[in-house]
A = this chain, B = another copy of it.
Amino acid sequence: MERILRINMTDRSATFEDVPEKYKERAGRWLTSSIVHDEVPATCDPLGPENKLVFSPGIVTGTASPTSSRISVGGKSPLTGGIKEANAGTGWGRRLANLGIRALVVEGKAADGYWLAKITCEGVEFEVADAWTGEKLSTVYPTVFDRFDGVESVDICSVGVAGEHKMAAAGICFNDQNGRPSRYAGRGGLGAVMGSKGLKFIVVNDKGGPGLTPANKDLFDSGRKKMAAALTEHAITKPEGALNSYGTAVLVNIINEAGALPTNNFRFGRFDGAAKIAGEAIFEGNKERTGATLYNHACSPGCIIRCSNTWHREDGSEHTSCIEYESAWALGANCGIDDLDQVAELNQLCNEYGLDTIEIGGTIAVAMEGGVAEFGDGKRAIELLHEIGKGTDLGVTLGNGAVATGKAYGVTRVPAVKGQNMPAYEPRAIKGIGMTYAVSTMGADHTSGYTIAPEILGVSGKLDPMNPDKAELARNFQYATAFIDSTGHCLFIAFAILDIASGFEGMIEECNGMLGTAWTADDVGRIGKEILDLELDFNRQAGFTAADDRLPEFMLTEKLPPHDVTWDIPDSEIDSIFGTGS
């Protein structure tokens, strides 16, 4: 019987309770968004005691299902002021699942100091963690692993100094399979929420845990095999396929070619230096520097796709893991920086300080627009990261993200929606993703509904990115994504299951096998809508209206080269997606 674990940071107490009937099918994003919706006052201060931080492994997380080690993290976002779910691939969620914990709910707020919570099959223990604060995470993690018998025994969830400073760009960090603090539930400032509660670490040891028992093992096994077969077959997700070879940064050249790679704070759609920071350049650079052909590794146990790269220095030593597409773009093209070693250092510093690379890349670009640095000046960008890490007067502004930085330095060209900086796809050049940015419950977010798949990659058909008729696409992708985010699967399974019908069937069979449900393909849409409706309702209660579902003003008038396009989707079309118009 799975349970919900509540940790109250006000008095460092912990209580277990049965999963209520209402939530019995819910896990991952479905459960985090349910608990946030049902328990967090929508108008509360995101950094106050009323907010809650909810962790939930997905439906199949912790099982033998492939590519399913995602942990969802939810709460009210200090960046957007709305509901937030961010997820990461890490063994940490598997261990939580193996302990029979469907959700961990962190409540209250410590009066002072920072704490470590250790969760085992015997319960929760707290210890003072102040000695571990103020440091880079790569310094801290090894000592915490030493204290708790290593990466074989535990996984660690933590915030960096950004979370300690309650910065709105602070993410929540998990270790990868090598124990590196490198896997992030990055967006929306959930690291600041964790920091505000005085919680520095959550260490999970699942030894002696009950594990997970499928309701119908045969059905589950059938499902996971279909999923594995689809992932192993699809060109994007298969071993030595696009992602395994070049990582997500394989997209740099593709999106640049499409004229939709935001460059110099969304001023251009192409970047001259794109090829120098692309996945292919990472692959070739590693070969040159290490003398080996390095295929990528899995961020978490049981992944077939294995898309995480490691970048090496000239001397062959390890520099950072992982340079995702979003990070290569945010810290590279969007800042006009085409030097992979500088991008890698910026990436590593985000990992060290506990920051969302997308928000920080967007922030540095806005700071560059405001005259704090020059576009292309990687050295200065690295200094800016250290300002954040030190919490200087400049750093605390930058650490609060692009909108805060724009306000401080008088910049009106801030490419954000609901306070969150846009990711690596230019909405003016790819209309469906722009509509998704506009209406997403999360603020500008590509992972809310990755319409790039059909609009650019030709997955599940091929659509013209400039075609404005995408309201239904934007809606349906968000519903399907909310479902996938609840299964515990990485969103990247979407490439395979959109193109390979048996993979999609496999996902449903896995869920039915675990839960004993009888879901069909229709339930994917139904459940996705249910999740979105909860999130939209929370946001409505928090004060969001159609006025918040708008792209920034400059995109309506400023033409984006090379296609010379503006954002021209009518408000009525945007409001039709979720029927949120007034």
Interface residues on A, range: 35 or more
Chain B residues positioned under 8 Å from A394 (CB to CB): 393
A397 within 8 Å of B (CB atoms): yes
Chain B residues positioned under 8 Å from A396 (CB to CB): 397, 408-409
Binary contact track A41-53/B, C-beta < 8 Å → 1, others 0 = 0111101101000
Look across to chain B and name the residue whose beta carbon is closest to the beta carbon of A394.
B393
Q: Are B412 and A47 in contact (CB under 8 A)?
A: yes
Question: Would you give the shortest CB distance from A241 to chain B, in whole angstroms?
Answer: 43
Q: Are B408 and A400 in contact (CB under 8 A)?
A: yes
Chain B residues positioned under 8 Å from A78 (CB to CB): 407
Which one of A199-207, A273-281, A548-556 is at the interface? A548-556
Chain B residues positioned under 8 Å from A547 (CB to CB): 42-43, 541-543
| A77 to B48 Cα, complex, angstroms | 27
Look across to chain B and name the residue whose beta carbon is closest to the beta carbon of A395.
B393
Chain B residues positioned under 8 Å from A582 (CB to CB): 540
A545 within 8 Å of B (CB atoms): yes
A431 within 8 Å of B (CB atoms): no
With beta carbons under 8 angstroms apart, the residue of B42, B48, B545 that contacts A553 is: B48
Look across to chain B and name the residue whose beta carbon is closest to the beta carbon of A46.
B412
Chain B residues positioned under 8 Å from A47 (CB to CB): 410, 412
Look across to chain B and name the residue whose beta carbon is closest to the beta carbon of A109.
B412
Question: Would you give the shortest CB distance from A220 to chain B, in whole angstroms?
Answer: 43
With beta carbons under 8 angstroms apart, the residue of B42, B48, B392, B546 that contacts A393 is: B392
A328 within 8 Å of B (CB atoms): no
A166 within 8 Å of B (CB atoms): yes
| A409 to B192 Cα, complex, angstroms | 12
Q: Are B165 and A410 in contact (CB under 8 A)?
A: yes
A404 within 8 Å of B (CB atoms): yes
Question: Would you give the shortest CB distance from A96 to chain B, in whole angstroms?
Answer: 28
| A553 to B408 Cα, complex, angstroms | 25
A305 within 8 Å of B (CB atoms): no
A168 within 8 Å of B (CB atoms): yes
With A547-B541, A547-B542 in contact, is A166–B45 under 8 Å at CB?
A: no
Binary contact track A518-561/B, C-beta < 8 Å → 1, others 0 = 00000000000000000000001111111110101110000000
Chain B residues positioned under 8 Å from A50 (CB to CB): 553
Q: Are B166 and A410 in contact (CB under 8 A)?
A: yes
| A396 to B411 Cα, complex, angstroms | 12
With beta carbons under 8 angstroms apart, the residue of B397, B543, B552, B554 that contacts A408 is: B397
11 contacting pairs across A/B (C-beta < 8 A): A44-B553, A165-B410, A168-B407, A392-B393, A393-B397, A393-B408, A396-B397, A396-B408, A396-B409, A397-B408, A545-B545
Q: List the interface of chain A (C-beta within 8 A of B).
A: 42-45, 47-48, 50, 78, 165-166, 168, 196, 392-394, 396-397, 400, 404, 407-410, 412, 540-548, 550, 552-554, 582
